[in-house]
């Protein structure tokens, strides 16, 4: 019996040595781990999903939004005694920015961030020109940057400085041939393009009338500035305001006769800056169909439905990034909510519809991508037999539990404020914490741990000691439990750890 006792103590001593820096064995030092918690779709507040308007009650005021919030600048001319030399610039705005121009606009020239001349505005045969004397010392050879403040948009535009180099007595632009600094690249629409279009009047499902509107859109955002070439022929060209290459442009037509919005069956993609689609001789021909809607009856799967909060949850339909419908709670099936979803869309164009579900109880947004195909007048499922949403749950961890962990006595002496601890489920990092000093002076690790729904997941803790650069792993895992706590501030858990070799 005595020998059994001594053997047990020896084995216990060996296990203790594995968890310390003591003993003859050398353990590998490791760099601080770059742990990062798996990204999740938690939201801090209830989404404010709003359906994009499909059919306005009155003529829409479609306008591109250039608005900013810049204050009017207080630019002033420099002292001529400091900068006796100058060059002259005569500048005109691009056709796009000229649509914003007002008498309150300002323009100035800068070199190296310093204002070297404020423009005087002159109307020349109906054209707004900006005359600037750019002042500098005789030795100046820096780049000239032009800044334009639009009073209507409350936005300051800045030209590309490398386009113009200062030279004494240089003339940059004239009244007959003014220069056009590149301001657009600094604004909200850095990829301006142009498109020629012609409306096919013979195929219009309504009569053309006073009060009609035609505009270009990307998603639900107006992106066109219209120029009439021939109203009789309905031939127009548009400045298309691109935020990036590859955006898809469609046209919307408001019929004053029908008091309804129609959308073009044709679309095109924004190309490179300055590119032109079509021409006056060969414009893009547009035909239109009514902007319509479909109805779907939807419910949740059993796992997600078990967490449903009927008063706080939300459901919305999206076509691209445009909200096309918000769900209405109309019933219940097997304890799960049933929603009626009216989806606005485009009647003759098939479009995939994504459904987003906000779980109020978990503050989490789930998605069922491309689960519906839009068709005008279509009814998908029924209140009695709703479609179960194929929400993506794989890789999603909407549940939370907390943990408050302290180190066991055999390694507590090496703890520092730079130590790290993380919670893992398999290879996924589900929670992480830095060492915090408690009131009693010891270091603890407080963290939130994310978990999956409908699964039993073992959680393993890993600890990195900055003092000796050792990585430790907890001997035993604990089971994730949503809403529970593994240890508390008053009684933190103290799992045993082994050094990772």
Q: Are 172 and 164 in contact (CB under 8 A)?
A: yes
Q: In angstroms, what CA-CA distances link 110 with 165, 191, 342? A: 11, 24, 54
pLDDT in tens, 2-21: 434 444 434 444 343 344 44
Residue where the block lists tokens 């169909």: 289
The residues, ordered by sequence, that sit 6+ positions from 307 with a Cβ below 8 Å of its Cβ are 359, 361, 362, 398, 453
| CATH 2.60.40, domain 191-286, yes or no | yes
The pLDDT-based confidence of 289 (bands split at 50, 70, 90) is: confident
3-state secondary structure of 187: coil
3-state secondary structure of 177: coil
Q: How far apart are CA 223 and CA 116, in angstroms?
A: 35
The pLDDT value given to residue 217:
94
Does residue 399 or residue 9 have the better pLDDT? 399
The pLDDT value given to residue 9:
39
444-480 burial code (b ≥16 CB/10 A, e <16): bbbbebbbbbeeebebbbbbbbeeeebbbebeebbeb
Bridge-based pairing of strands 336-346 and 328-333 is antiparallel
Range 461-471 average pLDDT: 96
pLDDT in tens, 154-189: 999 999 777 799 999 999 999 999 999 999 999 999
The pLDDT value given to residue 7:
42
Q: What is the assigned CATH class of domain 13-38+398-499?
A: mainly beta
Q: How far apart are CA 251 and CA 238, in angstroms?
A: 11
According to CATH, the topology of domain 85-186 is Immunoglobulin-like (2.60.40)
pLDDT in tens, 374-397: 987 788 999 999 999 999 999 999
pLDDT in tens, 124-153: 988 999 999 999 999 999 999 999 999 999
Q: Beta-carbon neighbour count of residue 21 at 10 Å?
A: 16
R_g of the chain, CA atoms, integer Å: 33
- How distant is the alpha carbon of residue 184 from its chain centre? 22
Q: Are 350 and 398 in contact (CB under 8 A)?
A: no
CATH of domain 291-388: 2.60.40.10
Domain(s) of CATH 2.60.40.10: residues in the chain: 291-388
pLDDT in tens, 23-68: 557 788 999 999 999 999 888 899 999 887 555 556 688 999 999 9
The residues, ordered by sequence, that sit 6+ positions from 22 with a Cβ below 8 Å of its Cβ are none
Q: Beta-carbon neighbour count of residue 416 at 10 Å?
A: 11
3-state secondary structure of 243: coil
DSSP string of 202-228?
Answer: GG-SS---TT-EEEEEETTEE-EEEEE
Confidence (pTM)? 0.51
The pLDDT value given to residue 2:
40
Q: Are 133 and 88 in contact (CB under 8 A)?
A: yes
pLDDT in tens, 183-215: 999 999 999 999 999 999 998 989 999 999 999
């Amino acid at each position: 019996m005595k020998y059994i006792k001594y053997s047990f103590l020896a084995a216990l001593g060996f296990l203790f040595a594995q968890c310390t820096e003591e003993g003859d064995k050398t353990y590998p030092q490791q760099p601080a781990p770059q742990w990062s918690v798996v990204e999740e779709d938690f939201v801090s507040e209830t989404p404010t999903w709003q359906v994009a308007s499909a059919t306005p009650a009155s003529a829409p005021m479609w306008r591109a939004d250039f608005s900013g919030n810049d204050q009017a600048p207080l630019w002033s001319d420099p002292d001529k005694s400091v900068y006796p030399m100058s060059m002259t610039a005569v500048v005109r705005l691009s056709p796009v920015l000229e649509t914003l121009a007002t008498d309150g606009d300002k323009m100035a020239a800068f070199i190296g961030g310093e204002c070297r001349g404020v423009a005087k505005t002159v109307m020349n045969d109906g054209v707004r020109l900006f005359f600037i004397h750019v002042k500098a010392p005789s030795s100046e050879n820096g780049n000239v940057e032009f800044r334009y403040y639009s009073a209507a948009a409350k936005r300051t535009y800045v030209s590309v400085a490398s386009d113009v180099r200062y030279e004494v007595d240089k003339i940059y632009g004239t009244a007959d041939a003014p220069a056009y600094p590149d301001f657009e690249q600094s604004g909200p629409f850095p990829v301006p393009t142009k498109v020629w279009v012609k409306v096919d009047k013979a195929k219009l499902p309504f009569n053309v009338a006073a009060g009609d509107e035609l505009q270009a859109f990307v998603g639900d955002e107006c992106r066109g500035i219209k120029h009439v070439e021939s109203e009789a022929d309905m031939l127009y060209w548009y400045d298309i305001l691109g935020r990036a290459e590859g955006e898809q442009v469609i046209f919307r037509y408001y019929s004053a006769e029908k008091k309804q919005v129609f959308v073009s069956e044709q679309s095109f993609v924004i190309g490179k800056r300055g590119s032109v689609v079509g021409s006056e001789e060969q414009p893009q021909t547009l035909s239109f169909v009514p902007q319509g809607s479909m109805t779907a009856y939807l419910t949740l799967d059993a796992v997600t439905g078990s967490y449903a909060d009927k008063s706080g949850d939300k459901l919305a339909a999206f076509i691209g990034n445009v909200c096309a419908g918000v769900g209405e709670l109309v019933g219940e099936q097997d304890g799960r909510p049933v929603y009626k979803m009216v989806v606005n869309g485009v009647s003759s164009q098939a479009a995939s519809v994504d459904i987003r579900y906000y779980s109020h109880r978990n503050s989490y947004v789930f998605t069922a991508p491309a689960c519906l195909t839009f068709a005008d007048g279509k009814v998908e499922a029924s209140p009695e037999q709703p479609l179960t949403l194929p929400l993506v749950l794989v890789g999603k961890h909407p549940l939370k539990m907390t943990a408050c962990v302290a180190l066991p006595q055999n390694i507590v002496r090496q703890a520092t404020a730079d130590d790290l601890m993380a919670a893992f489920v398999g290879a996924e990092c589900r929670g992480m914490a830095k060492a915090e000093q408690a009131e009693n002076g010891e270091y603890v690790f407080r963290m939130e741990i994310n978990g999956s729904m409908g699964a039993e997941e073992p959680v393993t803790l890993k600890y990195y000691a900055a003092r000796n650069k050792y990585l430790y792993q907890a001997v035993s895992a604990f089971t994730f439990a949503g809403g529970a706590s593994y240890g508390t501030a008053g009684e933190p858990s103290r799992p045993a750890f082994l050094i990772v070799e």
